Amino acid sequence: MATPSVEEFEREAAEWLAQNAVPRRAVEGDTFVWGEGEFSVSVFHDLAHDDEKDLLEALRVWNQKKAERGYHAVRWSSEFGGLGLDAAHGRAFQRLEAQYETPGGHELFGVTTGLIAQTVKAFGTPEQIERFMEPLLRTDIYACQLFSEPGAGSDLAALGCRATRDGDEWVLNGQKVWSSGAQFSDWGLLIARSDVDVAKHRGMTAFMVPFDVDGVEIRPIKQMSGGQSFNEVFFSDARIPDNLRLGGEGDGWKVALTTLGFERDHSSSGGGSGGRVGGNWPKLLATADAMGCTDDPLVRAALIDYYVHSTVERLVNRRAADNARSGTPGPEASLGKIMWTEGMTLLSDVISKVLGAKLIADTGEWGTYEWGEHVLGAPGYRIAGGSDEVQRNIVGERVLGLPGEPRVDKDLPWRDIPR
């Protein structure tokens, strides 16, 4: 079948959306109206457990509705239930969809369809691809990332959660932490230590772990902002079959780097959270207008700084997306992630100037105190998926070719590394 032009595709998609969704009353951007409807600039959800579960269920239902026509996976090939179209078609659908009431976004949705699905595609055996790809893309199942541990975050290769081979099975023991959305997940992509006698980067193996096996315990962590985005996940003699190993034995580091590459790429475009999170230019400008401070030269300079940053960021991301037509994102994805988190931080600074005390004292005035959720949430993405400092190391070493930082334990067997 001939590939439809973007215009043809848009016509069909618009018709389908009109039949299957309700138009949105006020749309972000030009038609954002100050004082109307709900004002949200939150970065992380602050929902009760059941409300968050309901949100994920609503996202699943909408995604599966789209899957009836392949709109859930515009750029994925038909082999995976998608339409096999270009980035331009994908963007066109997103633009159209944004005009309709949809359930919104959730980090776990982006992790499942964006990161875990991409990683399974990159490393899965034909059987694993057959088993996982469509369910992940359709969100028949949700899957989270089980990488970080109490003693292994930036230095992920230091991780110590153990996977010990026992015939055709693996026995898992240890702890993961900061596992976003694990309490709502059916599966986790785990990186575990399978060989303690080789250098740390070489002794890891990746697995898809079902959460309904014995020996897996998930404990949500309560955040100071109210929600519970993260979890601790404990493995106590949990047994899984070898056919859930993703990639070869000892390939865990390669698998992890692939997922993290997609995460940088994905989160810099806001996809990791199911869309752009936190505040944005139209809301900032509308708030400054409402506060009557757009004549203040200091505020004007700060507003322009943010406008320039967000415009350049959007164009850089667009160029990177157009260049990376396919394949695994390289270290360049780190640049996009740094720009994104710097933009969020800059926005926090500017809105603080605009709102002053109204940012921290709830006056009840629409669209003011809510900005606290952006300011308190933005730092989280400076850490998630590799901190800003680590991204700068990656750019320095792998994009600019600067000398690497000293890594004294690089060649030591993992068991001999002091900890």
Ligand X SMILES: Cc1cc2nc3c(=O)[nH]c(=O)nc-3n(C[C@H](O)[C@H](O)[C@H](O)COP(=O)(O)OP(=O)(O)OC[C@H]3O[C@@H](n4cnc5c(N)ncnc54)[C@H](O)[C@@H]3O)c2cc1C
Tokens (6 digits) for 283: 């809301």
The nearer residue to ligand X, 82 or 110, going by C-beta atoms, is 110
Q: How far apart are CA 261 and CA 119, in angstroms?
A: 10
Taking the complex as a whole, the smallest distance from the CB of residue 322 to ligand X amounts, in Å, to: 28
Compare residues 128 and 148 and give the one whose CB is closer to ligand X.
148
Q: Which residues are catalytic?
A: 263
- Considering the complex, what minimum distance in angstroms separates the CB of residue 110 from ligand X? 11
Residues 111 and 272: beta-carbon distance below 8 Å: yes
Residue 113 burial by Cβ neighbours in a 10 Å radius (0-12, 13-18, 19+): buried
Phi-psi label, residue 260: left if phi above 0, alpha if psi -120 to 50, beta otherwise? alpha
Q: Which residue is nearest to ligand X (CB)?
A: 153
What backbone torsions phi and psi does residue 144 show, to the nearest 5 degrees? Answer: -115, 180
Q: Which is nearer to ligand X, 290 or 390 (CB)?
A: 390
Q: How far is the CB of 399 from ligand X (least distance, A)?
A: 16
Beta-bridged to residue 220, according to DSSP, are 231
Rounded Cα distance between 250 and 207, Å, is 11
Considering the complex, state which of residue 109 and residue 147 has its C-beta at the smaller distance from ligand X: 147
Which residues in this chain contact ligand X in the complex, by CB under 6 A?
144-148, 153-154, 178-180, 380, 383-384, 386-387, 389-390, 393, 405
C-beta of 74 vs 156, nearer to ligand X: 156
Of residues 92 and 116, the one with the C-beta less far from ligand X: 116
How far apart are CB 183 and ligand X at their closest, in Å? 12
Q: In angstroms, what is the minimal distance from the CB of 146 to ligand X?
A: 6
Name 332's Cβ contacts closer than 8 Å, sequence gap at least 6.
320, 324, 399
CA-nearest of 78, 373, 57 to 227 is 373
Minimum CB distance to ligand X, residue 161 (Å): 11
CB 257 to ligand X: min, Å: 13
- Shorter beta-carbon distance to ligand X: residue 347 or 384: 384
